Structure 1
C-alpha cells in the first residue's frame, strides 16, 4: 500500500470494522485482544454521533467495546458504497454504508468518518452514523 491518504483512509474503514467484528463476536477468543488496536485508531478527542443521536466521546466508545466482547456471536458486518466526500492534505472524509446481519435480521446505517492520515498511521477524528429504515430480513 502506498502513502496516498485517501487509500490509507479507505483501508482504515475496513480494518476498523474487522476489529469491531472481532470484539463483538469474540471469534477464537480474540475479542478482548482486539480492543487495544481498535482504540489506537481513535484520536484522543474523537467523538461520534450514534444511530440513536447520542454524542459520545472516546472513553464512552471504549467502555462500549469492553462491555460488548462476545455479545453478538454470528454477527456479519458488510461495508459498501465507500466514497470520498472530501480530502484536503492529510484529512479525509469518507461516507459508507455499514450493514449488520445476525439471526436473520439486517440493519444498515450510512456513516461519515473524518480521518487524519500521517504516513502509515490513520486516526479517526469524528464519526456520524445515520440509521436506515428497517430492511427486510436477510
Structure 2
C-alpha cells in the first residue's frame, strides 16, 4: 500500500499512463474497456492544457480517448523524472517527463499534474503539458 499522499499520486501517474497506453494501442482488444477504468481518475471538473496550448475539459478528454482506441498500435509510453512540486493536505502537484515512441519517432513533454487523494483513491484535478520535442 502506498502510505503517503505523494507516493499515491506518483503511483496514479503510472497507472493512468498504463491505461492510456491500453487505449491507444488496443493490443488485447480491451482499449475501450480501459477507458471505463481511466475516466474515474479524472475529477468532474478536471481540465488540462495540451502540448498545443489548448484548454480542454474532462468531457473533451473523454471524447478524445473514445476516438483514439487502437489509433496508435506499437506506441510506447515512458514516464520518468518525477518530482514533487507541491504537497499540502491530501493533494500534491507532481512534475514528470512523458516520452512517446512510435515508428522510430520520439516526442517528449514535461507535465505537471495536480492530484487529490481521497480514501486511497487518486483524482486528477488539473494537468499542464509542455512539449520538449
Question: Residue in 1 aligned with 2:4?
Answer: 4
**8 Å Cα contact 1:31-1:69 kept in structure 2:** yes
Which structure 1 segments of 5+ residues have no match? 134-138
Specify the alignment match of 1:82 in structure 2. 82
Whether 1:63 and 2:63 are equivalent positions in the alignment is yes
Give the 5 Å matches for 1:1-138: 1-133=1-133
Deviations 1:8-54 (A, max 9, x none): 00000000000000000001101000001100000000000000000
Q: Could you tell me how far 1:2 is from its partner in structure 2?
A: 3.3
Q: Distance in 2 between matches of 1:124 and 1:78?
A: 19
Normalising to structure 2: TM-score of the pair? 0.98
Runs of 4+ in 1 over 2 A off after TM superposition: none
Contact 1:100 1:108 (C-alpha < 8 Å) held by counterparts? yes
Deviations 1:113-136 (Å, cap 9, x if unpaired)?
000001211000000000003xxx
Partner Cα separation in structure 2 for residue 132 and residue 4 of structure 1: 30
**Matched-pair contact (CA < 8 Å) for 1:98–1:109:** yes
Alignment RMSD, CA only?
Answer: 0.6
Instruction: Give the total of aligned pairs.
Output: 133
